[in-house]
Amino acid sequence: MLTRRKDAVEARIRSALGSSAQIVKLARSQEFSENAGVLEQLIQVRYAATKRSIRILVDMTCLPKAYLLYLLGCGFQREYVASIDFIYCQGKYSIPEQASGRSLVSRIGLVSEGEWSTLQIPYFEARDFAAGQKDLIVSVGAEIAAALPVIERFEPRRLKLLKIAEAIPVISDGKLSHEQRALQVLSAKANASSQSFELEDVISLSKAILEGREGSTTCLAIGSKPHALACGLASLASNSIDVVCRIPAAYSANEVASSGRFFRFRVEDRFEPRAYL
């Protein structure tokens, strides 16, 4: 079913763009290093062909956070791009049958399955590294239970949770009880604080990261994709912020309907004239 639907979408793209369409087949999303190399080469080739910084459109709706952040970091740190437009359609999720158990640390979530590993996103390493404990800022979403072991491993000096202030609920069956308990566990830590932002308020969230920290900081982007984008922007603006994402063992095959909310975020290099053309 999913393969047929993907083939149908590909056929529509080819029909709309004609011979100008180039379809690039990547490896499994968990094969980050291999895929990142392919993506950077694509951008570098376009950049070399035009002999100037380029503009890119990225649909991040179904793109894992590690890749949207990599495109952001690579594009601007290497000065390949003048601007990137990120478009995002908010989904409305249903809870998988297997995720309705009572375990606090669930291995089946809304979009992922199995244990998580962490990935330091290239181009978002802290250049101004300070030894010792670091602050940890976590953008949280609907898979908080699976994040608990990852957060515990960091042993942060201070923990700040950046939550989504949902104007419209996007989990149709209500929030899972074990997810609520996981959030309570994190919020109850002595060194923890929290703040809520609207899904689309990327600028305010970026400012909160930059202003509400002390010294070297890690952003763990496990929440929404717009909030992951905010973490990347904060890291680009500071030499002491790095960004880490989670890589799940597998992604769940789950039907996700549109909530009807669509967003477009433009990131521009203000010193590049082509960004304004």
Query: What are 191-235's pLDDT values in tens digits?
Result: 889 999 999 999 999 999 998 777 789 999 998 999 999 999 999
How far is the CA of 148 from the CAs of 57, 107, 178, in angstroms? 34, 11, 12
Based on its alpha-carbon atoms, the radius of gyration of the chain, rounded to whole angstroms, reads 19
Supply the angle between the helices 144-154 and 177-187 in degrees, to the nearest 10.
30
Nearest partner of 224 among 157, 171, 187, judged by Cα: 171
Beta bridge partners of 171: 93
Whether residue 79 is predicted with pLDDT greater than 70 in this model: the reply is yes
- Structural domains of the chain, ranges and CATH numbers in brackets: 2-276 (3.40.50.11700)
Asked if residue 231 lies in contact with residue 219, where contact means CB atoms within 8 angstroms, the answer is yes
DSSP character at residue 98: G
Whether residue 97 is predicted with pLDDT greater than 50 in this model: the reply is yes
- Distance, CA of 207 to CA of 220 (rounded, Å): 16
> What's the whole-model pTM score?
0.86
Q: What is the mean pLDDT of residues 166-174?
A: 50
- pLDDT 10s digits, 60-71: 998 999 999 999
pLDDT class of 275 with cuts at 50, 70, 90: low
